[in-house]
Structure 1
Amino acid sequence: MRIASLVLFAALVAAVPAQAAINGVAAVVNGEMITEFDLQNEVAPEAMRRQIDPKKPAQREAYDALTSATLERMINNIILTQEAQRLKISVSDSEVDNEMQQIMSRNKITPEEFQRQLQLQRMSEKDFRERVRSGVLRNRLLANMVGRKVIVTKEEVADYYNIHKQNFVNNQRVRFALIVYPPTENAEKQSARLRGGKASFEEVARKVSIGPRAQEGGDVGMVSWNTLDPAWQERLSLMEPGEISDLFEVNNGLKAQLKLIDMESGEGQTLEEATPQIERILREPKLQERFREYTEQLRKRAVVEIRR
């Protein structure tokens, strides 16, 4: 998991709209129910981020479209989880513990900060554990059934290296601060204040950020350049120390901003040294395509009844 996944806590749960028929059944997937309550819990954070109010007639169509798309994603997740169980792929409690520890370690989140984030998102640790378990289970299924079919050639690696050579270095480190705006915050307004010098980055981070180390002004400390997502590398490489980035989207469509604090240069990697990282980068879109195809195959075999 890369630094960009620091925001995985940010929009997991939000208040259910008052008009939700919480006792109704939205869909049944191979005998497993998705309730309206579950569905609206998934829809609410994205609706808030997009500022879609289902009570406003002009926005009802957009809200219904978002709800339908969310239901489709939930159906697919259940199908994948059921398939993993059918193939006797399992995830033990100790593996969930390990994954949660890695999430906190990689994202520099203390156990206390972890609990605070759960409280902010109105999520119990038990519910979060089950989401982690389901995620690991689906990833394991996809690794077994999809990953082995994805091939990245030496030619593809060399072409990518020649174009992005400047991003592959040894011992390079970067220090930056991060603000992740909650879905209820007017990110554009806060960004304008920052860029207009009306507020400091650290002040806004402490006040509104739901990202890591908010009380330290969002300063995540020194991190290895090679652990960053390529999109983050490109954004930071164009910045000077003290500069603040434009708004950009991270996990779940939340908006974020970066402030570059310091950059320690390193030595350029050879093609051989950079190959493992480049292979991971190039595999991702291929995996996503295979994942889509595999999910469609499972969906065709599933018995799905949408009741809403």
Structure 2
Amino acid sequence: MRPQTFLLAVALGISLAAGGWLLKACAQDKIIAVVNSDIITQKDLDDFLNFMRMQLSEEYQGDELEAQVNSIKAGLLERLIEDRLILQEAKRTKINVDESRVKSRIDALKKQYESDTAFQEALAKQGLVQADLEKRIREQLLMFSAVETFVRSKVIVTPAEITDYYQEHAEEFSVPLRRRVSYVVCDNKGIADELYGVLKKDPDLDNYAIKFGLTPSTLEVAKDGSFRKEIEEVVFNLNIQEVSKPTLIEGGYYIFELQEIIPAQKKSLAQAQEQIRQRLYEKKLSQRMESWIAELRSRSYIKVSE
């Protein structure tokens, strides 16, 4: 190749490489939303998704992690806009964050990795550095504090509201008929059949299970869909002190002995009040959060690019 041709090829290669890099950089710097004095770029959105991936990796792995990440993608920009509004309000009202809490969260994330190097490499794969992560966590803690100050602390559930709910939704606090059983699980059919043969003559599952090297447990079974159908069918066909034949369920042989039939009953107000309080609190919290976000939006300039 002639020198001139070689130089031209090199120059062209550099030009194309630089052009590709510039196109990518321009795409990342594209402004996709404006929230008051803040801008949100495509890079902000990408970084936010990567940050969420890092956080979700504390609880999920593999395909389950990807499913969780995909589930939040659709509403990510709206969530980022709302986060900016909350963060701006936190800063406006001079809410502060204890830096030791930021360090604690970083340390907790690092413990998932074999070494600090592995942690930094994982960040790099997401296009992040530790400073990015610290900034996101600091902002998240600021937002949590703002929500606590302006939303959670304002939510109150009164005893009168709990009583009214209990009276108006009495059917929700009915406890269906239940059957209390002792049971064992054995992975060997021969042993399960032998134990059943003994129990037919002398139904005392708790005693004989231990002699067979098995651990007996107890269970209260109701026909409310919370148990497998085959368990309901077996248990609800037993008489008191009757023992079931070994039933194969998910690779194990179950033997049940009916100990007690517990009649249907209704929870008292005292028994149900914490459940009601939590239900009303969550509903009020959601409503107040929506109202607060709507208020922040009403006094803000928000522009989303087409």
Q: TM-score per shorter chain, which class?
A: 0.3 to 0.5
Bigger radius of gyration: 2
What TM-score do you get using the length of structure 1 for normalisation?
A: 0.43
Greater RCO, CA 8 A, separation 6+: 1
What TM-score do you get using the length of structure 2 for normalisation?
A: 0.43
Q: Higher helix share goes to which structure?
A: 2
